[in-house]
Amino acid sequence: MNLQVYVSEILDDIRSNGISALKKYSQQFDNYKGPFELEEKEWNIDDEILQEDKNIIDRIIKRLENYHSKQIKEDITYTNEYGSMYGLIKRPINRIGIYVPGGRPLPSSLLMVAIPAKIAGVKDMIITSSPKNGKINPYILYIAKKLNIKEVYKIGGIQAIGAMAYGIGMKKVDKIFGPGNQYVNEAKRQVFGDVGIDSLAGPSEICLIADETANKEYVLNDLLSQLEHGLESKSFLLTTSKQLYDYCDKNRIERYLFDTLDECAEKANEIAPEHLEIITREPEKIVPLIQNAGAVYLGEYTPVPAADYFLGVNHVLPTGKAARFSSVLNVSDFMKEMTIAKISKEELLTERYLGIRMAEIEGMNQHKKSMEVRK
């Protein structure tokens, strides 16, 4: 059975049979039989985390809040020569679901989603995550408490996506965020329309442009860092240095040797990587040449892992060449934009001939009458 059919059958079962199907798949995939929503006593995890770790998380939260708070944009309204008002107004999404993988818990991913959501004004956030030995990772719960997320559910995998999308065992969400494996990705793809989704994340990628000035140890370790995510992760070196090219001759690192940095940039745009590091004599001069990348990190002291964890920039990025048309997760992903207009009588009567003729072209007679009937 192929992946699409497999996931579809599970989602259909959950939608049709509700909580009984959810319990069945939780027992099958998570080896869990208990209640889904976290009980009050399970929030008592303070003794499970070192105070030093709490301080680190608190500091990272402040850095993320500082960066993302700069992304808030005001509503736009203006008045034209007729005295009519036009604009674009923004509202936060009402309720979001955050999927946090439970196999290898990723508290940093929860931070990257929940903080811009909070800054956008989302009031209602929930977390779903696979329980391990019946429990949710304490770091995930500590972050949830810090960010005032009150609903956490011990559900993972396809069944978690179905539960959030269809409102099984919980109130339905409006949009789902968070990374997952191929089953979670496919489930998100299939529930799109019932709910919104952030993206379909693929294997992690790093592309690194470097010249002869780059520290070879820095370059090699940065290239290897993203391969740690899994066997499907990708690592590209684009360089003008034969010495560096030879030094990075390691398994799974794809190397390209070019005559100029302009050629390196051209190849980077073709790859459209999730992460792009530029370690050259003057990295800022390469930036105008870059069109396709999820994130760009400049200089030898801006490694991808620093951005993954503590710089404050978001690490939820487009993968699989999606940087050609997609963007880094940001505050606007948690908001909706609505046009607003209040047209004066003078403008409608003066300019309606434009709409009347377009209605005639399209054969929409009632559209035409709606504009013509006004006096």
* Segments of the chain assigned E as strands: 76-79, 85-92, 95-99, 124-128, 151-153, 175-177, 196-197, 205-210, 234-239, 253-257, 275-279, 295-298, 335-342
Q: Annotated catalytic, 229? A: no
> Which of 274, 284, 300, 347 does the annotation list as catalytic?
274
How many Cα atoms within 13 Å fall on the side-chain side of residue 334?
29
DSSP 3-state of 194: coil
Maximum CA extent, the chain = 78
> Which of 68, 275, 277, 315 does the annotation list as catalytic?
275
Q: Annotated catalytic, 367? A: no
Check if the beta carbon of residue 25 is closer than 8 Å to that of residue 10: yes
Calpha distance 272→163 (Å, rounded): 34
Write down the residue that tokens 């709409």 correspond to.
355
Helix runs in 40-106, H state only: 51-69
Angle subtended by helix axes 19-30 and 3-17, to nearest 10: 140
Calpha distance 15→21 (Å, rounded): 8
Calpha distance 40→106 (Å, rounded): 23
For residue 137, the one-letter residue type is: N
- Positions annotated as catalytic residues are 274-275
